[in-house]
């Protein structure tokens, strides 16, 4: 009888000590999270618009440079060099402005993506607490889960949760 109680107590302790663990495929989660998809689409539109603006400015500047070359043949060498230097300086300024706009757009995009990643982490943490998980590990490319059973894969549940919250 004493042995049965001891075995029962050990079994009870073992079951209590068991941790609830799940994992999330980070790549799949982010690829299917609608807010991230929308942010990427928004920044693609902005990047395309900036590329068109850059192309338009470059084309106009090239036409101006060609017109200057024709005009420079009729100028004195000193005057042509002065105007060429001024045109070069203007071209550099235009290039710097476009580069600053590119960098600003990249920073805005990175800020929004960082915000999304933080939001996802918070939601995973809240999900884990509410469902009684001791650990939720990150899988996918660069993740720490090399193998996990389908039963422990929480990716689809969390994607659905995030997308439902985003729709609201």
Residue 69: its pLDDT value, please?
86
Sign of CA dihedral 36, 37, 43, 47: positive
Please state the pTM of the whole predicted model: 0.74
pLDDT bucket at 142, cuts 50 / 70 / 90: confident
| 40 found inside a domain | yes
pLDDT at 41 over 90: yes
Residue 8 resides in a domain: no
Q: Looking at the domain assignment, is residue 6 inside a domain?
A: no
Domain count, the chain: 1
| Within-domain flag for 138 | yes
Residue 7 falls within a domain, yes or no? no
Confidence tier at 11 by pLDDT (50, 70, 90)? very low
- Looking at residues 116-140, what average pLDDT do you find? 93
pLDDT at 12: 41
> 1 in a domain, yes or no?
no
82: left (phi over 0), alpha (psi -120 to 50) or beta: alpha
* Full residue range of the structural domain in which residue 73 is found: 19-167
Q: Do the domain assignments include residue 87? A: yes
Under the banding of pLDDT at 50, 70 and 90, the label for residue 27 is: very high
Residue 9 lies in a domain: no
N- to C-terminal Cα separation, the chain: 59
């Amino acid at each position: 009888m004493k042995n049965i109680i001891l075995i029962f107590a050990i079994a009870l302790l073992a079951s209590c000590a068991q941790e609830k663990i799940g994992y999330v495929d980070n790549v799949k989660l982010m690829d299917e999270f609608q807010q991230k998809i929308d942010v990427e689409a928004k920044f693609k539109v902005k990047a395309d618009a900036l590329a068109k603006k850059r192309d338009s400015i470059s084309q106009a500047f090239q036409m101006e440079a060609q017109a200057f070359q024709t005009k420079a043949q009729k100028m004195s060498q000193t005057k042509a060099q002065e105007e060429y230097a001024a045109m070069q300086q203007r071209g550099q300024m235009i290039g710097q402005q476009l580069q600053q706009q590119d960098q600003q757009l990249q920073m805005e995009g990175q800020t929004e993506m960082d915000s999304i990643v933080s939001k996802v982490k918070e939601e995973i943490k809240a999900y884990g607490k509410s469902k009684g998980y001791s650990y939720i590990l990150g899988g996918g490319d660069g993740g720490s889960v090399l193998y996990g059973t389908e039963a422990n894969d929480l990716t689809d549940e969390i994607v659905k949760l995030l997308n439902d919250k985003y729709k609201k």
